[in-house]
Amino acid sequence: MRMPTLDDPSRNEDFSVVRALGEAPSFQPGERVRILTRHPIGHYRVPIYLRGKEGSIEAVIEPAAVDNEEEGFGRNAGSKRHYYRVAVPMTEIWPAYAGSARDGLRIEVFETWLERI
Amino acid sequence: MTDTQHIVRRLPNDIGGLPADPVQQVDHELEPWEKRCHALADVLDFHKIINTEEKRYGVEALGAEMVGKLSYYERWIVAFANILFRKGILTPTELALKMKEIEER
Protein backbone atom coordinates (compact mmCIF):
# COMPACT_ATOMS: atom_id res chain seq x y z
CA MET A 1 0.00 0.00 0.00
CA ARG A 2 1.24 3.48 -0.89
CA MET A 3 1.86 5.54 2.23
CA PRO A 4 0.34 9.05 1.87
CA THR A 5 2.70 11.90 2.52
CA LEU A 6 1.96 14.53 5.14
CA ASP A 7 0.54 17.03 2.62
CA ASP A 8 -1.44 14.45 0.67
CA PRO A 9 -5.13 15.52 0.82
CA SER A 10 -6.23 11.89 0.89
CA ARG A 11 -4.23 11.37 4.06
CA ASN A 12 -6.99 12.56 6.37
CA GLU A 13 -9.49 10.21 4.84
CA ASP A 14 -7.24 7.19 5.09
CA PHE A 15 -5.76 8.00 8.44
CA SER A 16 -8.44 10.01 10.24
CA VAL A 17 -8.46 7.47 13.06
CA VAL A 18 -5.22 5.77 14.01
CA ARG A 19 -5.94 2.91 16.36
CA ALA A 20 -3.48 2.09 19.08
CA LEU A 21 -2.54 -1.52 19.68
CA GLY A 22 -5.59 -3.34 20.99
CA GLU A 23 -7.98 -0.51 20.12
CA ALA A 24 -9.57 -2.23 17.14
CA PRO A 25 -12.60 -4.21 18.35
CA SER A 26 -11.79 -7.90 18.87
CA PHE A 27 -15.40 -8.98 18.46
CA GLN A 28 -18.08 -8.16 15.93
CA PRO A 29 -21.87 -8.20 16.18
CA GLY A 30 -23.27 -11.70 15.84
CA GLU A 31 -20.24 -13.49 17.22
CA ARG A 32 -20.74 -16.00 20.00
CA VAL A 33 -18.85 -15.29 23.19
CA ARG A 34 -18.47 -16.63 26.70
CA ILE A 35 -18.14 -14.33 29.70
CA LEU A 36 -15.03 -15.44 31.54
CA THR A 37 -15.04 -17.08 34.93
CA ARG A 38 -12.65 -15.24 37.15
CA HIS A 39 -12.76 -13.78 40.63
CA PRO A 40 -11.30 -10.30 40.90
CA ILE A 41 -11.47 -8.70 44.30
CA GLY A 42 -11.96 -5.11 45.44
CA HIS A 43 -13.88 -3.89 42.42
CA TYR A 44 -15.43 -5.54 39.38
CA ARG A 45 -18.25 -4.84 36.96
CA VAL A 46 -19.26 -8.35 35.89
CA PRO A 47 -21.80 -9.82 38.32
CA ILE A 48 -21.04 -13.32 39.55
CA TYR A 49 -24.26 -14.78 38.14
CA LEU A 50 -23.06 -14.03 34.57
CA ARG A 51 -19.63 -15.62 34.77
CA GLY A 52 -19.19 -18.57 32.47
CA LYS A 53 -22.43 -17.77 30.63
CA GLU A 54 -22.61 -17.78 26.83
CA GLY A 55 -24.21 -15.18 24.62
CA SER A 56 -23.69 -13.19 21.49
CA ILE A 57 -22.31 -9.77 20.65
CA GLU A 58 -25.17 -7.43 19.88
CA ALA A 59 -23.16 -4.23 19.41
CA VAL A 60 -19.69 -2.77 19.72
CA ILE A 61 -19.86 0.27 21.99
CA GLU A 62 -17.89 3.16 20.47
CA PRO A 63 -15.54 4.74 21.24
CA ALA A 64 -13.01 2.51 22.96
CA ALA A 65 -12.81 3.25 26.67
CA VAL A 66 -10.62 2.76 29.71
CA ASP A 67 -11.50 -0.35 31.70
CA ASN A 68 -13.94 0.85 34.37
CA GLU A 69 -12.45 -1.62 36.82
CA GLU A 70 -9.34 0.59 36.55
CA GLU A 71 -11.41 3.77 36.75
CA GLY A 72 -12.73 2.55 40.08
CA PHE A 73 -9.33 3.29 41.54
CA GLY A 74 -9.18 6.77 40.05
CA ARG A 75 -7.16 5.91 36.95
CA ASN A 76 -8.83 7.66 34.04
CA ALA A 77 -6.09 7.12 31.48
CA GLY A 78 -4.37 4.12 30.00
CA SER A 79 -4.99 1.56 27.31
CA LYS A 80 -8.44 1.58 25.76
CA ARG A 81 -10.52 -1.33 24.61
CA HIS A 82 -14.13 -1.73 23.69
CA TYR A 83 -17.22 -2.54 25.60
CA TYR A 84 -19.66 -4.88 23.88
CA ARG A 85 -23.36 -5.16 24.40
CA VAL A 86 -23.75 -8.88 25.01
CA ALA A 87 -27.09 -10.64 24.70
CA VAL A 88 -27.52 -13.60 27.04
CA PRO A 89 -30.70 -15.75 27.00
CA MET A 90 -32.46 -15.82 30.37
CA THR A 91 -32.58 -19.62 30.12
CA GLU A 92 -28.77 -19.60 29.97
CA ILE A 93 -28.58 -17.60 33.20
CA TRP A 94 -31.39 -19.18 35.21
CA PRO A 95 -31.84 -22.86 34.38
CA ALA A 96 -35.37 -22.87 35.89
CA TYR A 97 -36.44 -19.72 34.02
CA ALA A 98 -40.16 -20.07 33.30
CA GLY A 99 -40.67 -17.12 30.92
CA SER A 100 -40.40 -17.04 27.16
CA ALA A 101 -37.34 -18.74 25.67
CA ARG A 102 -36.82 -15.50 23.71
CA ASP A 103 -36.28 -13.44 26.86
CA GLY A 104 -32.75 -12.25 27.32
CA LEU A 105 -30.50 -9.94 29.28
CA ARG A 106 -28.34 -7.23 27.73
CA ILE A 107 -25.18 -6.14 29.47
CA GLU A 108 -22.16 -4.11 28.43
CA VAL A 109 -19.00 -6.09 29.11
CA PHE A 110 -15.39 -4.94 28.74
CA GLU A 111 -13.30 -6.79 26.16
CA THR A 112 -10.96 -8.42 28.68
CA TRP A 113 -13.91 -10.38 30.13
CA LEU A 114 -14.89 -12.10 26.86
CA GLU A 115 -13.70 -15.11 24.87
CA ARG A 116 -14.84 -16.28 21.47
CA ILE A 117 -16.63 -19.64 21.29
CA MET B 1 -12.43 -22.86 48.95
CA THR B 2 -12.07 -21.69 52.51
CA ASP B 3 -15.10 -20.58 54.52
CA THR B 4 -14.15 -16.95 54.08
CA GLN B 5 -13.16 -16.80 50.41
CA HIS B 6 -16.67 -15.89 49.29
CA ILE B 7 -16.52 -12.75 51.44
CA VAL B 8 -13.57 -11.56 49.39
CA ARG B 9 -14.83 -12.76 46.02
CA ARG B 10 -18.38 -11.42 46.17
CA LEU B 11 -18.76 -7.69 46.56
CA PRO B 12 -21.52 -6.66 48.97
CA ASN B 13 -23.61 -5.13 46.17
CA ASP B 14 -23.31 -8.15 43.84
CA ILE B 15 -26.45 -9.88 45.04
CA GLY B 16 -28.05 -11.02 41.77
CA GLY B 17 -29.35 -14.56 42.10
CA LEU B 18 -29.04 -14.79 45.87
CA PRO B 19 -32.11 -15.82 47.87
CA ALA B 20 -34.15 -12.75 48.77
CA ASP B 21 -37.60 -11.50 49.64
CA PRO B 22 -39.87 -10.35 46.79
CA VAL B 23 -38.93 -6.99 45.28
CA GLN B 24 -41.05 -4.17 46.70
CA GLN B 25 -41.84 -1.86 43.81
CA VAL B 26 -42.70 1.44 45.44
CA ASP B 27 -41.87 5.02 44.51
CA HIS B 28 -39.68 6.99 46.86
CA GLU B 29 -40.03 10.73 47.37
CA LEU B 30 -36.47 12.07 47.46
CA GLU B 31 -35.45 14.18 50.45
CA PRO B 32 -33.89 17.57 49.64
CA TRP B 33 -30.50 16.36 50.93
CA GLU B 34 -30.70 13.35 48.62
CA LYS B 35 -31.21 15.62 45.62
CA ARG B 36 -28.24 17.72 46.74
CA CYS B 37 -26.20 14.54 47.13
CA HIS B 38 -26.97 13.58 43.54
CA ALA B 39 -26.06 17.08 42.36
CA LEU B 40 -22.81 16.85 44.34
CA ALA B 41 -22.01 13.57 42.57
CA ASP B 42 -22.51 15.27 39.20
CA VAL B 43 -20.29 18.20 40.20
CA LEU B 44 -17.52 15.92 41.52
CA ASP B 45 -17.62 13.90 38.30
CA PHE B 46 -17.75 16.98 36.03
CA HIS B 47 -14.69 18.46 37.72
CA LYS B 48 -12.86 15.12 37.52
CA ILE B 49 -12.57 14.89 41.30
CA ILE B 50 -14.49 11.62 41.79
CA ASN B 51 -15.73 9.68 38.79
CA THR B 52 -18.76 7.41 38.85
CA GLU B 53 -16.66 4.30 38.96
CA GLU B 54 -14.66 5.54 41.96
CA LYS B 55 -17.96 6.21 43.70
CA ARG B 56 -19.08 2.64 42.99
CA TYR B 57 -15.83 1.28 44.36
CA GLY B 58 -16.18 3.60 47.34
CA VAL B 59 -19.62 2.14 48.08
CA GLU B 60 -18.35 -1.43 47.79
CA ALA B 61 -15.48 -0.58 50.11
CA LEU B 62 -17.95 0.36 52.85
CA GLY B 63 -18.44 -3.35 53.47
CA ALA B 64 -21.46 -5.60 53.57
CA GLU B 65 -23.09 -4.22 56.71
CA MET B 66 -23.14 -0.61 55.55
CA VAL B 67 -24.09 -1.52 51.98
CA GLY B 68 -26.94 -3.63 53.37
CA LYS B 69 -28.25 -1.15 55.92
CA LEU B 70 -27.59 2.36 54.61
CA SER B 71 -30.01 3.94 52.17
CA TYR B 72 -28.98 4.60 48.57
CA TYR B 73 -27.78 8.18 49.06
CA GLU B 74 -26.38 7.47 52.51
CA ARG B 75 -24.02 5.01 50.83
CA TRP B 76 -23.03 7.67 48.29
CA ILE B 77 -22.35 10.43 50.79
CA VAL B 78 -20.27 8.23 53.12
CA ALA B 79 -18.29 6.94 50.15
CA PHE B 80 -17.66 10.51 48.95
CA ALA B 81 -16.34 11.49 52.37
CA ASN B 82 -13.95 8.53 52.47
CA ILE B 83 -12.66 9.20 48.93
CA LEU B 84 -12.15 12.92 49.62
CA PHE B 85 -10.21 12.04 52.78
CA ARG B 86 -8.05 9.60 50.83
CA LYS B 87 -7.35 12.20 48.14
CA GLY B 88 -6.45 14.79 50.73
CA ILE B 89 -9.16 17.18 49.53
CA LEU B 90 -10.94 17.12 52.88
CA THR B 91 -9.83 16.01 56.33
CA PRO B 92 -12.00 14.16 58.84
CA THR B 93 -11.57 17.09 61.24
CA GLU B 94 -12.77 19.62 58.67
CA LEU B 95 -15.85 17.54 57.95
CA ALA B 96 -16.57 17.05 61.66
CA LEU B 97 -16.30 20.79 62.35
CA LYS B 98 -18.57 21.63 59.42
CA MET B 99 -21.16 19.07 60.51
CA LYS B 100 -21.13 20.52 64.03
CA GLU B 101 -21.52 24.04 62.64
CA ILE B 102 -24.52 22.99 60.58
CA GLU B 103 -26.11 21.12 63.49
CA GLU B 104 -25.94 24.28 65.58
CA ARG B 105 -27.65 26.48 63.02
A39 reaches B (C-beta below 8 A): yes
Across the interface, whether the CB atoms of A73 and B9 are under 8 A apart is answered: no
For residue B75, pLDDT over 90 is answered with yes
Within an 8 Å CB–CB cutoff, is residue B17 touching chain A?
Answer: yes
Task: For residue A64, report the phi and psi dihedrals to the nearest 5 degrees.
Answer: -60, 150
Nearest chain B residue to A39 by CA: give it: B9
Whether residues B11 and A74 touch (CB distance < 8 A) is answered with no
Inform me whether the pLDDT recorded for B51 exceeds 70.
yes
Three-state SS letters, chain A: CCCCCCCCCCHHHHHCCCCCCCCCCCCCCCCEEEECCCCCCCCCCCCHHHCCCEEEEEEEEEEEEECHHHHCCCCCCCCEEEEEEEEEEHHHHCCCCCCCCCCEEEEEEEHHHEEEC
Q: What angle do CA A19, A25, A30 make, to 5 degrees?
A: 155
Q: Which amino acid is at B36?
A: R
Taking only the tens place, the pLDDT of each residue in A1-29 is: 455 555 555 545 556 777 777 779 999 99
Per residue in A48-92, pLDDT (tens digit) is 999 999 999 999 999 999 999 999 998 888 889 999 999 999 999
**Residue B12 pLDDT level (bands cut at 50, 70, 90):** very high
What pLDDT shows up at residue A15?
Answer: 61
In terms of CA atoms, which chain A residue is nearest residue B58? A72
Using CB atoms, pick whichever of A48, A49, A72 lies closest to residue B53.
Answer: A72
| Average pLDDT taken over every residue of chain B | 94
Give the separation between CA B34 and CA A23, rounded to whole angstroms: 39
pLDDT band at B54 (very low <50, low <70, confident <90, very high): very high
Amino acid of residue B13: N
**Distant-in-sequence, close-in-space partners of B43: CB < 8 Å, separation ≥ 6:** none
**Of A99, A103, A42, nearest in space to A73 by CA:** A42
Beta bridge partner(s), residue A56: A32, A87
Residue A109's pLDDT is 98
Query: Is the confidence at residue B70, as pLDDT, over 60?
Result: yes
A2 touches chain B (CB under 8 A): no
The angle at the Cα of B12, spanning B10 to B22, to the nearest 5 degrees, equals 105
Angle at A53 between CA A50 and CA A58, to 5 degrees: 90
- Are the beta carbons of B17 and A73 separated by less than 8 Å? no
- Whether residue B45 lies within 8 A of chain A, CB to CB, comes out as no
**How much is the pLDDT for B28?**
86
Confidence of residue B3 (pLDDT cuts 50, 70, 90): confident
Q: Is A78 on the interface with B (CB under 8 A)?
A: no
Residue closest to A116 by CA, chosen among A37, A67, A38, A54: A54
Contact yes or no for B51 and A41 at CB 8 A? no
ipTM value of the model? 0.84
